[in-house]
Chains A and B, each alone.
Chain A
Amino acid sequence: DAMVIQNPRYQVTQFGKPVTLSCSQTLNHNVMYWYQQKSSQAPKLLFHYYDKDFNNEADTPDNFQSRRPNTSFCFLDIRSPGLGDAAMYLCATSRTGTGANTEAFFGQGTRLTVV
């Protein structure tokens, strides 16, 4: 059973039209992440939530925002998508604490096309 679910799998949006991608998890993990992955590149961390605390990466454009209304859900909002924002967007979760096995669990991703 999928533990990190991203909807939709494929999203087409118009240049400049706001778009929201969603992620839900059944793992009850306290950390949730959003990554952007462009073709043939590694995933790039945009931001993460540690519980309700939002942590933005320094080079994440202001065009990208996020909301986490509760433990299970997290949203990625792109306020004015440009052609350069076309990518796979990956949501991930992990738990924190001491010890090993705090790996990240990833969803299948949402492939965003901007037309």
Chain B
Amino acid sequence: LAKTTQPISMDSYEGQEVNITCSHNNIATNDYITWYQQFPSQGPRFIIQGYKTKVTNEVASLFIPADRKSSTLSLPRVSLSDTAVYYCLVGPNTGGFKTIFGAGTRLFVKA
């Protein structure tokens, strides 16, 4: 499974757009990129998944360049409730995919 590297922590203010970048230089051809959010004392929650270019849902956008060696999770207009740990994961999406977490990015949103 491809190793991922993310910033350990980030600070932001309410209403700002937050971009968290993840490096995955040895991503394989059949690997997808998935992001999870985790609040204290809760299990992680799926945010978004993509393979290439751009994916958008009601919560976030995921930007993946052509070489797929990195990806950026974009959270529009964050609020205090977006304070959480965000994990980037890379792995195959077929049969027996194991969800293995990297260190994650602690996002602090301030008023």
Same complex for A and B? Answer yes
Q: Which residues of A line the B interface, CB within 8 A?
A: 4, 31, 33, 35, 42-45, 48, 50, 55, 88, 90, 92, 94, 96-109, 111
Give Cα A106 to B39, complex, Å: 12
Closest to B100 in A: A45
B103 within 8 A of A: yes
Interfacial chain B residues near A43, Cβ < 8 Å: 44, 101
How many B residues, CB 8 Å from partner?
Answer: 24
Main secondary structure of the interface of B (DSSP, over half): loop
Write out, one digit per residue, whether chain B residues 43-67 have a CB within 8 A of any chain A CB (1) or not (0).
1111001010000000000000000
A100 CB contact (under 8 Å) in B32, B87, B96, B102: B32
* 22 A–B contacts from the bound complex (CB under 8 Å): A4-B43, A31-B96, A33-B99, A42-B87, A42-B101, A42-B103, A44-B101, A45-B99, A50-B95, A55-B96, A55-B98, A92-B44, A98-B93, A99-B93, A100-B49, A102-B93, A103-B49, A105-B46, A106-B44, A107-B43, A108-B43, A109-B43
Q: Does B94 contact A100, Cβ atoms closer than 8 Å?
A: no
Interfacial chain A residues near B95, Cβ < 8 Å: 50, 96-97
Task: With A55-B96, A97-B94 given, name 19 new contacts (CB 8 A).
Answer: A4-B43, A42-B102, A44-B101, A45-B99, A50-B96, A92-B43, A94-B99, A96-B94, A97-B95, A98-B93, A100-B49, A102-B93, A103-B49, A105-B46, A106-B44, A108-B42, A109-B42, A109-B43, A111-B41
